[in-house]
Homo-oligomer: A and B are copies of this chain.
Amino acid sequence: MTTETEGVQQAIAASASPAAEFADLSRRRQVEVFFSLPETVQQSLLTDMDVRQVRRFVRRLDPDEGADVLGLVDEETRTEVLRRLDEDRRDALSYLLEFDPETAAGLMHLDYVTVDVERSLADAARRVERFEERNDDVPTIFVVDDEEFVGELPGQALALAGDKSERLRDHVEETPVVTYDTPDTEVVDVFRRAPERSVAVLDDDRTILGVIYAGDLLRVIEEEASETLYEFTGVQEEESILDGPLTKVRYRYKWLIINLGTAFLAAAAVGVFEDTIAAFTLLAVYMPVVAGMGGNAGTQSMAVTVRGIALGQISLPTGRRAVVNEAVAGAANGLITGVLVAVIATVFNQSPLLGLVLGVSMVLNLVIAGFFGTIIPLVLDRVGKDPATSATIFITTATDVLGFFIFLGLAQNVL
């Protein structure tokens, strides 16, 4: 995207009268800018627009886009806009608005025709022609048997048959199906298995409700993608870089307070050894090294485990070997970095004993990091939570608290 588009987006997000800024854009730019805006900003923009402006905007969108827009406005505006649209568009939008936007129905298009399996290819061709005249768009052809879904008729099949009076039955191809209430993330799984095809959306009685194309899922996957990073750092899904400071505070203060609780656990661990630190202040200097390295190694194990879970390569019942591997790798990495730290402490502080304590602490804390960095996401996944959410809190609490106990405890006994 261009710097200019970014500027427009930020201007709309920050403006007190975003509708005026939006109205200045060309039609094409309006569509481009609107669907790149975060949902909170879309919402406040729509709130600032009057019924006439919303209607003019919705009128030139595809029905599934239009339904997304009308899903964001208040009941009254929605009713009013629908009333003022032409009948075809009103029917399509009202229909789509009945469904949950985060399901298969929320993704589906209505550009399909249905033909009974007992009909001929010539009948199918006539249906297509009528649809195109009316909608200026080429439909997907679904084949039904007494209203029930059977499969798809590839458009090219119409061209192939020498004899147009042939029954459809011989030309039907299998098409993956989902029910209307399938979560959009599960629709992605269906396409993963059959990426070249479109997917038919069915009602509970196997009648056809709509069609989804692979391209519709790009947005879903991208949202999933950035959600992982968000969950990883405890940011609310809705938050955007375009939000104002107050919104940001509202989204984040709770997570920071939870983290404060875990930080106090680490502080309490240090508190146990206050006398040791008083006797040997150098320990305070090296504390951030032991804790920091444990945290880094733990989040690395976690990232690898989260990806393994997402790709279906690992789960709690099959994860024993992975946990062991991560712990062993932690021991080895602890040895490498521990030797480095030990040498540095010995050289700089003339204390081989401190070096030894540091080295041993690094090895143990990186084993802890590997173990908890793997087991925590696996357990979260098992109990039905997203494996990335809040895993970092548990992991850094483990590496901080246990790391301080090991480091300061060893020091108390050895130094």
Q: Does A353 contact B (CB under 8 A)?
A: no
A129 to B162, CA, bound (A): 10
Which one of B188, B229, B333 contacts A232 once the chains associate, using CB atoms below 8 Å?
B229
CB nearest to A215 among chain B residues: B195
Q: Does A383 contact B (CB under 8 A)?
A: no
A352 to chain B, nearest CB (A): 18
The reply to whether A3 and B256 contact each other, CB–CB distance below 8 Å, is no
A274 to B267, CA, bound (A): 18
Q: Does A217 contact B (CB under 8 A)?
A: yes
Q: 16 more A-B contacts (CB under 8 A) besides A214-B217, A270-B284?
A: A3-B315, A6-B312, A10-B314, A155-B158, A196-B213, A221-B225, A233-B296, A234-B300, A240-B308, A243-B325, A244-B325, A253-B332, A256-B336, A263-B292, A264-B289, A270-B287
Q: Does A16 contact B (CB under 8 A)?
A: no
The reply to whether A257 and B340 contact each other, CB–CB distance below 8 Å, is yes
Which one of B154, B160, B303, B332 contacts A129 once the chains associate, using CB atoms below 8 Å?
B160
Q: Does A99 contact B (CB under 8 A)?
A: no
The reply to whether A252 and B313 contact each other, CB–CB distance below 8 Å, is no
* Copies of this subunit: 2
The reply to whether A232 and B232 contact each other, CB–CB distance below 8 Å, is yes
A401 to B9, CA, bound (A): 35
Query: 0/1 per residue, A218-261, Cβ < 8 Å to B?
Result: 11011011101110111100011111111011001101110110
The reply to whether A293 and B256 contact each other, CB–CB distance below 8 Å, is yes
A303 to B225, CA, bound (A): 12
A222 to chain B, nearest CB (A): 6
Query: 0/1 per residue, A282-302, Cβ < 8 Å to B?
Result: 111111110111001101101
The reply to whether B253 and A336 contact each other, CB–CB distance below 8 Å, is yes
A343 to chain B, nearest CB (A): 12
The reply to whether A138 and B158 contact each other, CB–CB distance below 8 Å, is no
